[in-house]
Amino acid sequence: MLTAVFSLTGALVFGAADFLGGLAAKRISALLATAVAALAGVVLLFLALPLLGGEWSVHDVLWGAISGVVGCIGIALLYACLAIGPMSILSPTTAVVSAIVPVLYGLVFAGERFDPTGYWGLGLALVAVVLVGFVPERGAVRPSLRGIVMAVGSGAAIGGFYIAIDQTSDESGIVPLILNRGVNAALMFMAVAVVAILAALRARRARDVVGVDAGSVIQSLAANPAGESADGRSGGGVEAGADGLEGERMPRADRSATATGIRLAVACGLVDATANALLLFGIRAGDLSIAAVLGAMYPAGTILLAALVLRERIAPVQWAGLVLALTAAAMLALA
């Protein structure tokens, strides 16, 4: 019962975090939004540690760090496959694989067993994951092999996150989550730094090219002070060079939008950390299989918030998925 309640609630909260993260990514880069969110989550978990408790051990610290690395791989592959598209196929593919991997682990290696109601509930939940995660697209094309491989890899990595967290002891409390968010933040900020360095190098090369062009203009003027062209007409060499240099200047970012993006990313991190804690409680309260398959319902929270806040339309197939998700949760709670 507690596993179903914690896991489904955690999935809805996860969806809210994704919604906030999406709003943040519209104002700042998705990479920076993810990094800021992870850092905010670490801070919240550290503040909650005295209240929720947790013992530090090498075993739990190691598995917490592993879950952070595996989780980063899963998210990176998810963004990559969604960029390739079509989202309507690859998004639910990732979600269902992320549920199947822990279910297979729980049934095959952890010795989890259910009554017939539980197995039917698991099957129904997997169908619900596909329907809830379905993103209707007009003119969607058949996915490429590369996109499918990335989607499966992303789902497997996210499923690996569930398995890694399941290896931690009950006595560790939220310590593994602190390591998870800490590793995630470190990797994301490293990625932001790499991108910034590459951008700076590209900008420097562009300035060097502009400098060479400006040097050519100066040499031409020195040879032909009047700025005359070969046919004797007066040319605007200095003005043209100045216009070219002016065109290379990048427009200033909107500080207000950036500040809003940072605040949204912080809110995303706080909500995401809460969702992770709920999921952890769900795993420890019962079976990994139930927690993972209900946790994969996270798109439900996103589409519900999008409908309430942004007035986006929920597709009939997604409504069907939401109904099946609630039905499956009730069956698994009774299993």
Task: Kindly report, residue by residue over 98-127, the tens digit of the pLDDT.
Answer: 999 999 999 888 888 888 888 898 999 899
Reported as a pLDDT band with limits 50, 70 and 90, residue 40 is very high
- Cα first-last separation, the chain: 8
Name beta bridge partners: 234. 228
Q: Name the DSSP letter for residue 28.
A: S
Q: Name the DSSP letter for residue 228.
A: B
Radius of gyration of the chain (CA): 26
| Strongest mean pLDDT among 49-63, 128-142, 208-222, 225-239 | 49-63
| pLDDT cut 70: percent of the chain above it | 85
Q: Which residues contact 71 (CB under 8 A, 6 or more apart)?
A: 157, 158, 161, 180, 184
Pick the more confident residue, 75 or 36: 36
Task: Kindly report, residue by residue over 248-276, the tens digit of the pLDDT.
Answer: 444 555 678 889 999 999 999 999 999 99
Question: CA nearest 331: which of 297, 301, 304, 294?
Answer: 294
Task: Kindly report, residue by residue over 283-324, the tens digit of the pLDDT.
Answer: 999 889 899 999 888 888 888 888 888 888 888 888 898 888
85, 302 Cβ separation under 8 angstroms: no
Identify whether 86 is preceded by a cis peptide bond (ω within 30 of 0).
yes
Quickly tell me which residue has 């470190």 as its tokens. 186
- The token pair at 286 is 């019962």
The mean pLDDT value of the chain amounts to 83
Q: Which residues contact 63 (CB under 8 A, 6 or more apart)?
A: 164, 165, 167, 168, 176
274, 41 Cβ separation under 8 angstroms: no
Q: Name the DSSP letter for residue 172.
A: G
Question: CA nearest 157: which of 223, 35, 72?
Answer: 72
Pick the more confident residue, 26 or 70: 70
Q: Name the DSSP letter for residue 226.
A: T
- The token pair at 271 is 């909500």
pLDDT at res. 239: 43
